[in-house]
Every structure is written in structure tokens, then in C-alpha cells.
Amino acid sequence: MTDARVIVVGAGVMGAATAWQLGRRGIPTILLEQFRVGHDRGASHGTSRNFNVSYGDAGYLA
């Protein structure tokens, strides 16, 4: 059993940053990741990555 108040699912850039900031604030947090460190299956990896059309630089969407 754990006393974590928050569980963050996904240890990509956003998940890791979220868990880190929660931890810095003293909030007990668990960070879960389904794949090994350095995997290539993330939402921001390769040709299958998610695109944010609000990016200011069109080069990110090319």
C-alpha cells in the first residue's frame, strides 16, 4: 500500500514533468510507464507522433 495522492500515467516529457513538479511540492506521487526507458512508442516520437497545430513554428508540423 502506498500513501501516494496522485498517480501519473505515462512517463513521457509531460508526465515526467508533472510528477517532478508534484514531488517538488511535497505531494506523494507515483509515475507509471508501460514501456522501458528509451522506448520509441511515445506520442511525441517518430512519424506517428501527435501534432499540436498551435505550434508557432510551421517546421514542427512539416
pLDDT tens string 40-55:
777 766 666 666 677 6
Per the domain annotation, does 50 fall within a domain? Answer: no
Phi, psi of 31 (to 5 degrees): -110, 120
Per the domain annotation, does 22 fall within a domain? Answer: yes
Per the domain annotation, does 47 fall within a domain? Answer: no
Residue 32 in this model has a pLDDT that exceeds 90: yes
Per the domain annotation, does 42 fall within a domain? Answer: no
CB 52: neighbour CB atoms within 10 A? 9
Better-scored residue on pLDDT, 11 or 54: 11
* pLDDT score for 48: 61
Average pLDDT estimate for 18-36: 95
Phi, psi of 5 (to 5 degrees): -95, -20
Per the domain annotation, does 10 fall within a domain? Answer: yes
Cell representation of residue 49: 507522433
Per the domain annotation, does 43 fall within a domain? Answer: no
Per the domain annotation, does 45 fall within a domain? Answer: no
Q: How is residue 26 annotated by DSSP?
A: T
Per the domain annotation, does 51 fall within a domain? Answer: no
Domain range for 12? 1-37
Range 13-27 burial, b when 16+ CB lie within 10 A, else e: eebeebbeebeeeee
